[in-house]
Amino acid sequence: MSRIRVGLIGCGGIAAGHAQRLLNIPEAELGALCDIDPQAFDRLYKRVPGMPELPTFADYRQMLEAVPLDAVQVLTPHTLHFEQTMDSLKQGLHVLVEKPMVCTTEHAMAVIDEMHTRKKVVLVSYQRHYQGGFRFIRELLASGSMGEVQYVSALQGQDWLKNTRGTWRQEPELSGGGQMNDSGSHLLDIILWTTGLEPYTVHATCENFNAPVDINTALSVVCTNGAQLSISIVGNSAEWREDITIWTEHGVIYYRNGHMEVKMRGQKEALKPPGQPDEDNPDRNLINAILGRDTVKSRPEDALKVIQLTETAWHSSSVGAPVSMSDFLAS
């Protein structure tokens, strides 16, 4: 298999970046497009100059039956991901799925089981797994040189309430939840992925501001090693901001709106990640993993951890009390 034919399920705004990256990969080939909105195809062609004329479909099942494909990218509203991913796997196709992979723990486990049964690649488009700064943090913490992680403070602020009003992102039947399940998914993922921490007790409060989904979330977590997480997801913010601080036994890691540095106890100079450009992305990783050249860097197992924490947080907010994550997931 020298060229991987990829179909896009969903041709909205996020599809342009994926399509452009696939066009830049010699071993990849776009094979077909699917969207329920016929105008989405024209918008995609305008955003991605040089894209070849492709067969288009309103029903992804028809696309899977009519066009010989090796893989698909699921780029649709969140609650549609599960069925479209499962149907594609059962058709014998590899899958890249946008975040969040699915909206329930049960669905995440089913995708992982189907992936193993079919022996196919499933990759979740958590692009931070491919960025040098976050890989630097993960490798540094895994090396043990900083000792155990003891405390994480994280803030994500966006004008999400205003900017998504009137869109599917505030419709629970399509979004599966609010900002915590949308852009907040990236924040939860990168904390869990870089640190390797396992949540144990979760206490969350959510504020909807009369919207049908969560907008602001205050999240307090105690992990199995005793580490504490304090996470603020603010969807009614006048400006965009993201801060992450990771305190360890021997130092502290600061991430401030893309700027990152590490301070070690007793050292005056800050340690900074190498200033090298990112060499990979989810689309390239998908193709290389299918060809057996690489392993998947943003795995369904990572997405499972995110939805487990998200569902537990929602439950904690609904009951107004701390919740044992293992007890909640077992119930």
Compute the distance between CA of residue 324 and CA of residue 328 in angstroms, rounded to an integer. 6
Instruction: Specify the pLDDT at position 277.
Output: 64
What is the token pair recorded at 295? 């392993």
Instruction: Specify the pLDDT at position 59.
Output: 98
Compute the distance between CA of residue 170 and CA of residue 211 in angstroms, rounded to an integer. 7
In one-letter notation, the amino acid at residue 189 is D
DSSP state of 167: S
DSSP state of 54: -
- What φ, ψ does residue 119 adopt, rounded to 5°? 55, 50
Compute the distance between CA of residue 18 and CA of residue 31 in angstroms, rounded to an integer. 13
Which ranges constitute the DSSP H helices of 24-59?
39-47
146 and 264 Cβ atoms separated by less than 8 Å: yes
Q: In which residue are the tokens 């640190």 written?
A: 195
DSSP state of 121: -
Q: pTM of whole model > 0.75?
A: yes
Compute the distance between CA of residue 95 and CA of residue 72 in angstroms, rounded to an integer. 5
Compute the distance between CA of residue 241 and CA of residue 156 in angstroms, rounded to an integer. 6
Question: ∠125-278-287 over CA atoms, to 5°?
Answer: 50
Instruction: Specify the pLDDT at position 279.
Output: 72
Nearest to 155 by CA among 187, 190, 131, 194: 187
Instruction: Specify the pLDDT at position 187.
Output: 98
Which ranges constitute the DSSP H helices of 2-159?
15-23, 39-47, 60-66, 81-90, 105-118, 132-143
Compute the distance between CA of residue 35 and CA of residue 201 in angstroms, rounded to an integer. 41
Compute the distance between CA of residue 126 and CA of residue 298 in angstroms, rounded to an integer. 6
Instruction: Specify the pLDDT at position 276.
Output: 66
Nearest to 142 by CA among 85, 107, 193: 193
Predicted confidence pLDDT, tens digits, the chain (331 residues)? 579 999 999 999 999 999 999 999 999 999 999 999 999 999 999 999 999 999 999 999 999 999 999 999 999 999 999 999 999 999 999 999 999 999 999 999 999 999 999 999 999 999 999 999 999 999 999 999 999 999 999 999 999 999 999 999 999 999 999 999 999 999 999 999 999 999 999 999 999 999 999 999 999 999 999 999 999 999 999 999 999 999 999 999 999 998 999 999 988 888 888 776 667 999 999 999 999 999 999 999 999 999 999 999 999 999 999 999 999 999 8
Please state whether beta strands 122-124 and 323-324 pair in parallel, antiparallel, or not at all (unpaired).
Answer: unpaired
117 and 302 Cβ atoms separated by less than 8 Å: no
Q: In which residue are the tokens 């077992």 written?
A: 330
Instruction: Specify the pLDDT at position 272.
Output: 82
